[in-house]
Structure 1
Amino acid sequence: MLRFMSVGDSMTIGSAGEHTWRYRMWQHLCATYGGPFTFVGPRETLHDQTTDAPTSYAYADPDFPRAHLAGWGEGWHHMAPLIREMVSTCRADVLLVSLGLIDLGFYTDAEQTADNVRVFVAEARAADPRIRMAVLPVIPNIRAEADPSFATQVTRFNDLLAKTVIDLDEPDSPLLLATPPASYDIHTDTYDGTHPNADGEHKIAQAFAEAMYEGWGLGGPYTGS
């Protein structure tokens, strides 16, 4: 049984009424992965925007393993101290990580955020020396479009993230950098310039799916639409 854990911020936890990219990934793996698998993590809920709390179970389709490690307003800064225990207790085999926007927006600059990536990787491997990780850069968002200094930090962090992935990749614990689809457009793939709509959910799932297929031979070409 291959156990995937999605680690992320508001784009990963999703909001009440949404499918989430986690669901799209579930559909994809059901169609392309030949062995048993599941999703694991300490949390199952969506974020309820009316109460600003992670208390909703109102998935557009709840019929999938909803476990995850994601939270509205959380970043590498928050997840690095948690990941060792979560990998250990949830027995995760593969981490699908989408973090960084919150860090750069509120907590750390590009260099400090990259340092937290290194801590995260080390802590995950301390729990399981054979853990596999696929990491998504900070994807296009409305703040980067409107704020040139923030856009510079995003570009700088994504460059550092790519170098960090190369530096830390190991045969026994491979690290992949996912590439957002070139067609990702905040005006058509999000509902507010940051959070994915149905099209955006598919494109984030596609980024992880194609990275795992091309890098590890896991699954197949993305089957969503």
Structure 2
Amino acid sequence: MKSRFFTLIKPALLGLMLFFYSVVGNGQSRIVCIGNSITQGNQNTYSYRYFLWKKLLDIDADFKFVGSLNQNNNGNPEWPAYAGKTFDSAHEGRWGWSTKQALYGHEDNKEEGTLDQWLQGYVPDIVLLHFGTNDMFRNHSIPATLDNLREIIAKVRGRNARAVILLAQLIPANPETVGPQQAENIVNLNKEIPALAAELNTADSPVVLVDQHSGFDPTPGKDTYDGVHPNASGEEKMAEKWLQVVRQFVKIKSVTQTGKDILTETGMLLYPTVASQQQITIELQDLTPNELLRLEIYSKEGKLLQQLNEKVNQTGTFTKRLQLSNKYASGIYFMRIVSADRVQTREFIIAQ
């Protein structure tokens, strides 16, 4: 599969194109959040992880959070149950840690181990990486921090060569709280993150840029409670930005009434994912030459609306430009493609 399919997608562009990519394993998508205090939260804050967890439940995602920690800093808040479920609090956020400390251990907390050791307890499918804020507060060099981020991603890939990496540009810090130089350091590091994502992006393990910086106000009382750490408003904003990318990779449980679980398989490209009475294009790779396919379009309620029988070409690829008819009202739909050994699916939206 050509790497050009793995474009770096900011949330604002997700409506233009979606690459449908599999996560490894037959069970749930395993999501790990790696970072520092912004990821961990404390006893008085839920963390963005909680808000993201709720949003993933809302879209019927089949997932679990993984990580070696289950605690916020200094203890856990009382996370409210949601949709009859208890918050899955596993993560890899460590209060006050730098990227170097995650790789080589904290000089004052050697017993907490390193990323290599943490990863021995699970295999991540999707990685949310928001890391480097403390490096910038301590005036660590940007090239060294970028090297550490490279190494973190390499270690994740050592555990799962097909992991999806969501690499964040960091939320800003309030200059009056941390100092103007430290706040500017974050801005300057963020300028280098897109190039790092492009450099590390591969066909097997895409690296997707997530802009957590734009639209976030670090003023105490706005999106932070102290100029650095997100309050509920900031956590909600972060969760929504994560969601807009995570939802493109996470498994979903099923389409109601279709009778089959949806399996995420590799090699499906569907675009645009927001259409207005126009054609959509479906491209498939790595199929059995000349095999038969069944294309199905479902409403979000699970009603089969359209079915087509198609055939893969002799090279094992398939392209179909499908003209949407006027019978499709505005809303969410699912394209499902069934072959002899797999079921592939992805949602798209019609917006009139």
Report TM bin, short chain: 0.7 to 0.9
The answer as to whether partners of 2:50 and 2:87 remain within 8 angstroms in 1 is yes
Q: Is 2:66 the counterpart of 1:40?
A: yes
**Paired amino acid for 1:90:** Y
Question: TM-score under structure 1 normalisation?
Answer: 0.84
Question: TM-score under structure 2 normalisation?
Answer: 0.56
Counterpart in the other structure of 1:179: 211
Cα pair distance change 1:176/1:10, threshold 3 Å: same
The answer as to whether partners of 1:18 and 1:59 remain within 8 angstroms in 2 is no
The answer as to whether partners of 1:8 and 1:98 remain within 8 angstroms in 2 is yes
Q: Among all aligned residue pairs of Structure 1 and Structure 2, give the percentage whose two residues are the same amino acid.
A: 25
Q: Is 2:57 the counterpart of 1:23?
A: no
1:75-110 CA-to-partner distances (Å, cap 9, x unmatched) read 221223433443342121111111111011126211
Query: Which residue of 25, 49, 59 maps to 2:78?
Result: 59
1:15-39 CA-to-partner distances (Å, cap 9, x unmatched) read 11322110001001101144x2111
Q: How does 1:63-142 map to 2 (within 5 A)?
A: 63-81=86-104, 82-106=114-138, 108-142=140-174
The structure whose residues are more often strand, as a share, is: 2
**Paired amino acid for 1:108:** H
Counterpart in the other structure of 2:229: 195
- Structure 2 residues without counterparts, runs of 5 or longer: 1-27, 105-113, 253-346
Higher RCO (CA < 8 A, seq sep 6+): 1
**Paired amino acid for 1:110:** I
The structure whose residues are more often helix, as a share, is: 1
Q: Is 2:31 the counterpart of 1:4?
A: yes
Counterpart in the other structure of 1:208: 242
Structure 1 segments, 4+ long, off by >4 Å, are 216-221
**CA distance in structure 2 between the partners assigned to 1:22 and 1:165 by the alignment:** 22
**Paired amino acid for 2:207:** L
Is the deviation greater in 161-170 or in 181-190?
181-190
The answer as to whether partners of 2:29 and 2:251 remain within 8 angstroms in 1 is no
Aligned alpha-carbon RMSD (Å): 2.4
- Structure 1 residues without counterparts, runs of 5 or longer: 49-55
1:117-153 CA-to-partner distances (Å, cap 9, x unmatched) read 1111111111111111112112111248763433442
| CA apart distance, 1:206 | 1.4
